[in-house]
Each structure stands twice: as C-alpha cells, then as structure tokens.
Amino acid sequence: MMRITLSVMVDSLAGAGDALHQLLEILSSYELKATFFVSCGPDRNAPWLSRLRGADHISSFADNLHAIPEQGHEIGLAPWDPVSWRQKAAVAHQQWISEQWMRGIESWRELFSEEPASHAATNFQVHPLLLQLEQQSGMNYASDTIGKTPFYPLTGNQYSSCMQLPVTLPDVSELLHSNAVSAEQIHEEIYDASLNRLPLGHHWRFIAGEDDLQLLEKMIVMWRGSSGEFMTLAALAEVAAESQPHRHIVGWDTLADGRSVAAQSLQG
C-alpha cells in the first residue's frame, strides 16, 4: 500500500486567508487529516495597505488558524518571520536565531494556548542552533529538510535527538523550473515520484496561498485511486521511531529553481 503524508505551510497572509479556508474544505470533503505548520508573525511581502493598517501579521487570521485543530488536523510551528527566515537563517548569528525562535514560541502560545510539538523551517533553511533549539524545546519531531527517510540530524559535531521527517517529493516551484516539466504535467511528475517506494512512504509539502488548490485535489484523487494510505506526521513519527532511524548529516542541495535547501545526506 502507498503511504502518503501531506503537510501544509501556512506562512503568509495569502495562505492564512481564503486559501486556507478552501483548503480545509477540500480536506474535509475527502475526510483527510493533514499536518499544518503555522507562522504567527509578520508577512513582509504583504500589500502596503495591510502593513499600514497593522494587519500584516499572519496571526490576524486567528479564526482561520484556530479552525485547523478544531477540524482535527495536526498543527506545528513555522518561523515567526518567514520572509526574513528564508533570507537569513542559514548564515545568521545565533542571537538572531534565538530571538526568532522565542518570538515564534511566544506568539504560538498566545494564539493556541499550548506549546508547539513540532517545527518546519520555511523554504528548508536551517541553522545548527535551530536543531538544538528543537531538541531543547522537547519537540516530538521536526520537518526542516528534504530527504528520503526519517533520521536524527547531525550538523558539524552537533547531534540532535529531535527526529527529522524530511519532505521526499518535489515541490511545485522546483518542478515549474524544470525544463522537462510543464505546468500541466506537475501532478503527473509528483505522482510518478511517489511510485518510487520508500520504506516509510512519501511526504509532500503544499504551500497554502501559493500552490494551486486544484493540484492538491488532483493529488488526493490520484493517490486515493492507488489505495494510498494518508497519515499525519505525528503518526509517521511514531512508526519511524520503531524502525530506529539512523543519524545523518544535514547538508545542502541545489534545486532546479536555484534554491539551496537543507538536505539529508545519506552518507552520514
């Protein structure tokens, strides 16, 4: 049986607005549960008028964000300032990473009245300190990297006991910049990649407010037609723990769209 884990990044105003409402409706119509990673901070790409009105924080869509756990989906933490994180995190000073982390944690507590149990880094941008903070915060798992199988991350001489659940399938941006793939073929490419069997199945990430909702529905239909089993990342983490994941180095990979992203090194 094909095992599919779907995670969703909600790290923009566009992603937390109508797009999120529609996405939740799609998942409800198929009776599926997914894992959402939510940012509570500013969207620095927000329209000027939103910034002027002070409505540029993603947490301003509190009702929509609260609907995620209310409808039975799993929620995790995304970076507080996702645009700045995308630009700075990999080379930032430790103080900046710590400040971003604490702002994210504090905003999360204020919005959801609980501690976040997982984390996913915007655009797969990591810093050695991030992996330590995830461990120190008692996260059940993190999903900051691309790769093939769950693992415990190593950066330099630092090891984290917070398991990484990497994204295994290509995202939309990467495929759109591939010379061999047209926009009309993206669903076929993702599906074909998912046919390459991995011991614990595949993990695909959807970007709310950016990726096409019709694509999401196509993927659900195709995977269901192949008797796909859907599960949340929390459920995957439980299964992965039983398989005793290995330690692997977190390195960097360059995607077709030019992004440098954190990646599992199978040589670790």
Pair 172, 207: CB distance under 8 Å:
yes
- Name 151's bridge partners: 164
State the pLDDT at residue 187.
93
Of 61, 34, 26, nearest in space to 46 by CA: 61
Predicted pLDDT of residue 176: 85
What's the pTM? 0.95
- Angle, helices 18-29 vs 62-70, to 10°: value is 20
Q: Does residue 72 sit in helix, strand or coil?
A: coil
What strand order describes the sheet that includes 260-265?
158-159, 152-155, 247-254, 260-265
Question: Could you report the average pLDDT of every consecutive run of 10 residues in the chain (268 residues)?
Answer: 93 95 98 97 74 73 97 98 96 97 97 97 97 96 97 90 97 83 88 94 97 96 90 96 93 92 81
248: its two tokens: 């692997």
From the list 50, 32, 252, 5, the residue with the least C-alpha distance to 141 is 5
Q: Confirm if 175 and 190 have CB atoms less than 8 A apart.
A: yes
Got the DSSP string for 153-216?
EEETTEE--S-B--B-S--HHHHHT-TT--GGGHHHHHHHHHTS--TT-EEEEEETTTS-HHHH
Residue 259 sits at φ, ψ, to 5 deg, of -70, 140
Nearest alpha carbon to residue 86 among 267, 264, 268, 259: 259
Q: What is the pLDDT of residue 268?
A: 46
Pairing of strands 3-10, 229-231: parallel
pLDDT at 55: 64
**Is 126 within 8 Å of 164 (Cβ atoms)?**
no
Q: Domain 3-265 is classified in which CATH homologous superfamily?
A: Glycoside hydrolase/deacetylase (3.20.20.370)
Q: Up-side HSE of residue 181: CA atoms within 13 Å toward CB?
A: 20
Contacts 24+ apart (CB under 8 A), 241-246: 241/163, 243/150, 243/199, 243/200, 245/149, 245/150, 245/151, 245/152, 245/163, 246/151, 246/152
